[in-house]
Amino acid sequence: MTTRTIRARDRPVFGVDVHSGDVRGDDPSYALVILDPVDEDDPDAPDADGPMARVTRDVVSFRKLCRLIDDREPLYVATDNAYELAADKNELVGFLRSLPDGTRLVQVTGAERPEPLSRVASRHGIPYGKEPMKEAEASARLAAANVGHEVTAFTDETTVKVSRGRSTGKGGWSQDRYTRRIHGNVRKRTRQVQSKLKEANLSFERDVTEKYGGYANATFTVEARPEDIPVSSSRAGDVRVEVERERRDGIEYEPLVQRRDRVIVGIDPGTTTAAAVVGLDGTVHALYSSRTADTADVTEWIIEQGRPIIVAADVEPMPETVEKFRRSFDAAGWRPTTDLPVDEKLHRTRETNYQNDHERDALAAALYAYDDHEDQFERIAAKTPPRLDREAVIAGVVAGDASVESVIADLSEDGGSGDGGGGDDEADEADPTEPERTEEEETIRRLRERVDRLESHAESLEEDLAERDERIEELEGELEEAKREERIEARSRRAVSRLERETDRLERERDEARERVAELEGKVETLKELWRLDHSNFDDVADDRGLVSVKIVEQFTLDAIEAADEAYGLVAGDVVYLRDASGAGRRTAERLAETDPRAVIRDGNLSDVADQVLFDHDVPVLPADAVPVREVDELAVASEEAVAAALDDWERRAERRRKTEKQEHLDRIISEHRAGRTLPETEE
């Protein structure tokens, strides 16, 4: 028997379902079913199947439900959907914070993706009906059987803070003595708390703020829940103690007990061993992988997850390691007819987050095994009586290789009735100590119970109505005040908006004026620079040996030449400056030669083809270091004297090059002629 089951015998379990209204609208009423523990030694206790026997049903408001939870401190508050008790996550966290220590909110239908309550109840043999009271009772009985997930917004760490319970004051003739006394009491209480935590063998960390005479405060971070800590929140005299659980980032769902359902296990052996556990409904329960774990560690982990009825591999034949796991669990084996392709494994596991390829392969094996047996599971479930554990029948058929009828017969003889037990509603409500009632007496009893519930509900509604009227008056006053403040704020916003628009307009005009000034200043500077260039040497100007206009081509490409031609025209007699002379071919060089330039100033090396084309067209090519080019924006000039000197130098080099090429041409003709004369002799 688990610890939780033992505790369930000492405390009640609440089952809750919305009876009427909407949790996000008007105050809802709730169907409440309380399963009270019964002392088995009590001779007057009613017969029951399981630790819970006495059943109380009622319809209550949310406020009354909270009061009952505070008064009775149940072990579980069970529901099929946690958000039936809160409109959103913040309200749910507030509800969880308000629960007494040791009381847990349980969602019996699963975690983030809950199943229908009818399916969960049927799987565990719990009676179910669509009425709110029936659903509340089903939730309570499932939680009493440790079915479901605890809804929590807090970690298992608790903060215990010991601090001053009074202010040290503003001063006075005895101020130092008063402050020293308070800090001394805080230190004394801190030592008491620390001693109790050590006696309880609890792991904790302590952070202390020392002050004059002792401690101003001390904070203990304890690795335990509040109900497991021998210290509670209190305030006495100079010292205050606050106990509060650490908040999680969001809402989490934790199983009430380790899963012991029948499961399908996929295993991927190797250097890294991986395992995946899938339920008989195809739900992925857990994934595991480790490079250091041995067979015993993996087996222990699988046992914690459930009872395997199928052990699967993703390759054919089944590896020996997987076969050992299958034999150890006495489970059926599954393997594909051929090794599962990677793309199929990726597609089948696309909805599950896994850490590595090994977990993916193990999960794919388990899921494909489920796919192959899904129809068989449904057929077995359809033949299984409601009172029997369907998973036990499936395990007997699949792993035990027996027929459905024989397994059902064996379980019926053993009295197997599924996890959690349970019977029909009339049997749960009947009390064998009472004499059998007539139909009229039974009707009167039911009517009286209904009247009592309605009267209780009416009283609760009247209380809620009075509180609501008071709240409405308070909110109306706040609304009037808020409207007045809103009107004042609206007028302020309109004035601010008007001033902001005027400011934006003035800033735009200022920016436009600054841009215009900058543009004009740039033009003035350009004109000044050109004037200085044109009059830098008056002797040269007088001798008609001043500056030469240079037209710039950014790159020696067809597009760049066309762009320069469109921008300022390329005509015969121009001096052209190639800013980047590399990379040109024959066609590009011929296009430049067509403009019949006076000279081409190059920056960089020409290709051999382009150099030869320009030379053949008698276009002088001058190096940039021989003719310095001075640029101002899109304008460029060079010294006439430098251009003339570079042209003279090019003419001398061109003459030598022509002679050299002519000599090479003659040598080639002579060589070809000699080759033509000797060829017939060779053939002969």
What CATH number is given to the structural domain containing 163?
A: 3.30.70
pLDDT band at 287 (very low <50, low <70, confident <90, very high): very high
Mean pLDDT of the chain: 81
pLDDT of residue 169: 63
3-class DSSP state of 267: strand
Residues 290 and 185 both lie in one domain: no
Q: What percent of the chain has pLDDT over 90?
A: 23
Domain boundaries, position 202: 157-252
Residues 32 and 126 both lie in one domain: yes
pLDDT of residue 439: 66
Percentages helix, strand, coil for the chain, rounded to the nearest 5?
50, 20, 30
In this prediction, residues 641-661 reach a mean pLDDT of 88
Residues 507 and 559 both lie in one domain: no
pLDDT of residue 387: 67
In this prediction, residues 413-425 reach a mean pLDDT of 43
Instruction: Answer yes or no: are the C-beta atoms of 570 and 551 closer than 8 Å.
Output: yes
Cα three-residue angle 102-106-110, rounded to 5 degrees: 145
623 DSSP β-pair partners: 602
Residue type, 485: E
pLDDT of residue 442: 67
Backbone angles phi, psi at 27, to 5 degrees: -60, 120
What CATH number is associated with residue 299? 3.30.420.10
Whether the per-residue pLDDT at 426 is higher than 70: the answer is no
Q: What percent of the chain has pLDDT over 70?
A: 84
The predicted-structure confidence for 318-375, as pLDDT tens digits, reads as follows 999 999 898 888 889 999 999 999 999 999 999 888 989 999 999 999 999 999 999 9
The CA-atom distances, in angstroms, between 621 and each of 561, 590, 625, 640 are: 16, 14, 12, 16
Most confident region among 308-317, 446-455, 546-555 by mean pLDDT: 308-317
Residues 270 and 188 both lie in one domain: no
Cα three-residue angle 274-277-281, rounded to 5 degrees: 155
Task: Say how far apart CA 381 and CA 560 lie, in whole Å.
Answer: 81
Whether the per-residue pLDDT at 220 is higher than 50: the answer is yes
- Give the domain-ending residue among 94, 128, 147: 147
Residues 277 and 394 both lie in one domain: yes
Does any domain span residue 678? Answer: no
Does any domain span residue 405? Answer: no
Does any domain span residue 681? Answer: no
- Give the domain-ending residue among 92, 117, 147: 147
Q: Where are the beta strands (DSSP E) in 296-424?
A: 307-312, 332-334
Residues 183 and 80 both lie in one domain: no
Name the residue with tokens 């392709």: 341
Task: Say how far apart CA 136 and CA 130 lie, in whole Å.
Answer: 10
Of 321, 259, 309, 318, the closest CA to residue 286 belongs to: 259
Residues 303 and 386 both lie in one domain: yes
pLDDT of residue 538: 39
Q: Which residue has the higher pLDDT, 535 or 588?
A: 588
What CATH number is associated with residue 143? 3.30.420
pLDDT of residue 112: 76
pLDDT of residue 414: 59
Q: Which residue has the higher pLDDT, 169 or 517?
A: 517
In this prediction, residues 416-430 reach a mean pLDDT of 38
Does any domain span residue 69? Answer: yes
Does any domain span residue 214? Answer: yes
Task: Say how far apart CA 154 and CA 592 lie, in whole Å.
Answer: 80
Cis status, amide bond into 127, omega within 30 of 0: no
CA torsion, ordered 608, 614, 620, 626, to nearest 10 deg? -30
pLDDT band at 540 (very low <50, low <70, confident <90, very high): very low
Task: Say how far apart CA 250 and CA 152 lie, in whole Å.
Answer: 9
Residues 520 and 461 both lie in one domain: yes
Residues 489 and 506 both lie in one domain: yes
Whether the per-residue pLDDT at 26 is higher than 50: the answer is yes
In this prediction, residues 141-166 reach a mean pLDDT of 86
pLDDT of residue 5: 37
pLDDT band at 457 (very low <50, low <70, confident <90, very high): low
Residues 616 and 559 both lie in one domain: yes
Does any domain span residue 477? Answer: yes
- Give the domain-ending residue among 478, 511, 534: 534
Overall domain count for the chain: 5
Element (H, E) at 209: strand 204-211
pLDDT of residue 292: 83
pLDDT of residue 276: 94
Instruction: Answer yes or no: are the C-beta atoms of 148 and 142 closer than 8 Å.
Output: yes
The predicted-structure confidence for 50-66, as pLDDT tens digits, reads as follows 444 689 999 999 889 99
pLDDT band at 507 (very low <50, low <70, confident <90, very high): very high
Whether the per-residue pLDDT at 117 is higher than 80: the answer is yes
CB-side neighbour CA atoms (13 Å) of 84: 26
Residues 9 and 111 both lie in one domain: yes
Q: Which residue has the higher pLDDT, 248 or 466?
A: 466
The predicted-structure confidence for 463-500, as pLDDT tens digits, reads as follows 778 888 888 888 888 898 889 888 898 999 899 999 99
pLDDT of residue 274: 93
Does any domain span residue 205? Answer: yes
Residues 355 and 228 both lie in one domain: no
Does any domain span residue 468? Answer: yes
Q: Which residue has the higher pLDDT, 538 or 97?
A: 97
